[in-house]
Structure 1
Amino acid sequence: MYESHFGLQEAPFALTPNTRYFLRAPSHADALELLLVALQQREGFIKVTGEVGTGKTLLCRLLLNELDKTACTAYIPNPNLPPETLYEAVAEELGVDVAGCSNGHQILKALNQRLIALAMEQSPAVLVIDEAQAMPEETIEALRLLTNLETESTRLLQIVLFGQPELDTILAKDSLRQLRQRITFQTRLQPLGQESVGQYLRHRLARAGYNGADIFAPAALKVIWRSSGGIPRLVNVLAHKSMLAAWGRGDRQVARKHALQAVKDTESARPVSWFRRWG
């Protein structure tokens, strides 16, 4: 589309999470560092929350890439499952043959044997759950039973929960207080600031093969930052549409008028009238 017009080798603002495009913005870099430190300390539950589009899934994939070097991981991207099905999914992810297991108790027993074997091999086991706010309450409680799997000296399974802010509301229920008390590390991903949005766009363009003067004019950057609220996914949408608008007019730089056109065309963006009112 506009790639050749701007001297790019690939589309820079795809919405599919791609770890090649990760920018170590303060909030995201701090979250990744916290996760790695907490897992090194063999803590039980770790929680990461953030609004839709703040980069939770990308951070999740980065973490899995890091853990693949040192740990045995189980990844559950869609956890809207009953407890026994979750146990089965975790067991299969960790290499447990559950064909001979007729109920949840037998799956837990087989899983425990596998975790003990991994511990003897000095291979930590980590369960990573994305979209954790989608789990039924009974399944969240079932997770607590997984953290009961331990020896006298070490916890056999660590669990990392990634979820939207609704996860905090769910975990605040009195019925889940035992699990809540086991969350030893937690962090919340923050939107990008104005300066970080500029760095983010330049970083993605460079990753896509661009090497030249700034494509986005300062006024266009400001519009994208304000209208997106610093949410990376929405930044991507607005940047993509802004470049389309510039390309359509044969322009080599994205100006404020192109960004405003993108905002007008994006339902989830803050309207121009909103940020004009607030300066």
Structure 2
Amino acid sequence: MYIEHFGMRELPFTLTPNTRFFLQLPTHQEALNLLLVALSSGDGFIKVVGEVGTGKTMLCRMLLNALEKESCVSAYLPNPYLSPEALRRHFALEIGVENALQLRDFELITRINERLVEIAKEGRFTVLIVDEAQAMPEETIEALRLLTNLETESEKLFQVVLFGQPELDQLLARPSLRQLKQRITFSSQLQVLTQTAVAQYLEQRASKAGYEGLSLFSKKAASLIAKASGGVPRLVNILAHKSLMSAYGKGERQINPQHVVHAIEDTEGVKVPRVASGLSWWLSSALLAGVCAGAAYVLSVRGLIG
């Protein structure tokens, strides 16, 4: 791979969410700050919505890392496509209910309530974090709402953070789920990255991976990645990774637009922007013209053409 070629310690643009590479950019940092403030105020439901590839899972893991273990018991549900009973059992296991898999459902609810009260008496709070929440069946979401009815006289016994794609909003807009929707006290919308933010993002990740040289991506290359990806972090990672591979293959030390064009052409669902298409065509045409001119010169020298 290209790690040694660019003087890095690790791959900077992998698709696996690595909290070391968290976006230190306004849209994602503000969302994390909002979540922490909302949880500290004891609100019931909090919702974070973002398109595919905008960094929801990364933000979810950052939140889990940011919650102080001494003051919080966190439960994480990465795949919420569960029945209501399976949801309750998973939650029970996460918060430390003993024999959660053996208990009958009505006993399970009782033990969940008792465990939540124990946690509250210890001076801690409980948070359930649900990733890909748009995949939850409607009856499971309703079961979750009913579970949050567990409370003391003064406070809720646990809070819920829902991370999901825009389809989550459509799901919660159903009349049958209006009670849950009314309980959402804070909501955040993750935005795609601006062109300036993409350039910062590229340099930031390269630097954290160990790169110490001047700008790894030329301004035009970064601009091209921003336009082709639409500012979606996942696509930025894919194009940046392939651009680095292209540059490495040619033995070059900085990413230029041609490397990015090669990356785009090798990526399904991404098109070369018009300007870049023109650039690619111009480069190809210029190369062809140069070859033709060179051939004509050689032939004229040899007297084969007039």
> TM over 0.5, yes or no?
yes
| CA deviation after TM superposition for structure 1 residue 217, in Å | 0.5
Q: Distance in 2 between matches of 1:275 and 1:49?
A: 32
User: Contact (CA 8 Å) 2:265, 2:271: kept in 1 or not?
Assistant: no
Whole-Å Cα distance in 1 between the matches of residues 253 and 194 of structure 2?
Answer: 26
- d(CA) in 1 for partners of 2:80, 2:108: 17
Tell me: CA distance 1:219–1:274, structure 2 relative to 1, closer, same or farther (3 Å): closer
User: Are the counterparts in 2 of residues 227 and 275 from structure 1 also a CA contact under 8 Å?
Assistant: no
1:4 — aligned with what?
A: 4
The Cα shift of 1:272 comes to 2.5
1:1-279 matches, cutoff 5 A: 1-69=1-69, 70-97=71-98, 98-103=100-105, 105-273=106-274
> Shift in Å at residue 28 of structure 1?
0.4
- Shift of the alpha carbon at 1:67? 1.2
Distance (Å, rounded) in 1 between the aligned partners of 2:156 and 2:275: 50
Deviation string, structure 1 residues 84-131 (Cα, Å, up to 9, x no partner): 00000000000002144112x221111000000000001100000000
Query: Please, what TM-score do these two structures have when normalized by structure 2?
Result: 0.88
1:47-92, Cα deviation, whole Å (9 max, x unpaired): 0010111000000001001114330000000010000000000000
User: For each residue in 1:145-185, what CA deviation from the matched residue of structure 2 results, as whole angstroms up to 9, or x when unmatched?
Assistant: 12101001011010000000100000000000000000000
How far 1:275 moved relative to its partner?
A: 7.7
User: Letter of the aligned partner of 1:272 in structure 2?
Assistant: P
Structure 1 residue matching 2:187: 3-state secondary structure: strand
Q: Secondary structure at the match of 1:43?
A: coil
User: For the Cα contact (< 8 Å) 2:116–2:126, is it kept in 1?
Assistant: yes
- Secondary structure (helix, strand or coil) at the match of 1:6 reads coil
Give 3-state SS (helix, strand or coil) of 1:158's partner.
strand
Amino acid at match of 1:121: E
Deviation at 1:142, TM superposition (A): 0.7
**Percent sequence identity over aligned pairs:** 55
Q: Distance in 2 between matches of 1:118 and 1:29?
A: 29
The one-letter amino acid of 2:147's match is: L
- Displacement of 1:23 after TM fit? 2.0
Q: Deviations over 1:230-269 (max 9, x none)?
A: 1111000000001111111111110001011111111122
Distance 2:232 2:141 in 1: 28
User: What's the TM-score once normalised by structure 1's chain length?
Assistant: 0.96
User: For the pair shown, which has the larger CA radius of gyration, 1 or 2?
Assistant: 2
Q: Is the 8 A contact 1:228 1:234 kept in 2?
A: yes
Amino acid at match of 2:120: A
In structure 2, what residue type is equivalent to 1:101?
L
Q: Is the 8 A contact 1:246 1:258 kept in 2?
A: yes
Q: Which amino acid aligns with 1:252?
A: R
Asked whether the 8 Å contact 1:19–1:61 carries over to 2, the reply is: yes
Answer yes or no: is the 8 Å Cα contact 1:260–1:272 preserved in 2.
no
| Cα RMSD after superposing both structures | 1.3
Distance in 2 between residues matched to 1:147 and 1:182, nearest whole Å: 10
Contact 2:225 2:236 in 1 (8 A): yes
Question: 1:84 and 1:269 mapped to 2: Cα distance?
Answer: 41
| C-alpha distance in 2 between matches for 1:276 and 1:140 | 47
Q: Which amino acid aligns with 1:51?
A: E
Counterpart of 2:143, as a letter, is: A
SS at match of 2:268: coil
How many residues align structurally?
A: 276
Paired residues of 1:263 and 1:272 also in contact (CA < 8 A): no
**Residue identity in the other structure for 2:225:** I
Which residue in 1 is equivalent to 2:283? none
Q: Is the 8 A contact 2:261 2:276 kept in 1?
A: no
Q: Is contact 1:49–1:189 with CA below 8 Å preserved after alignment?
A: yes
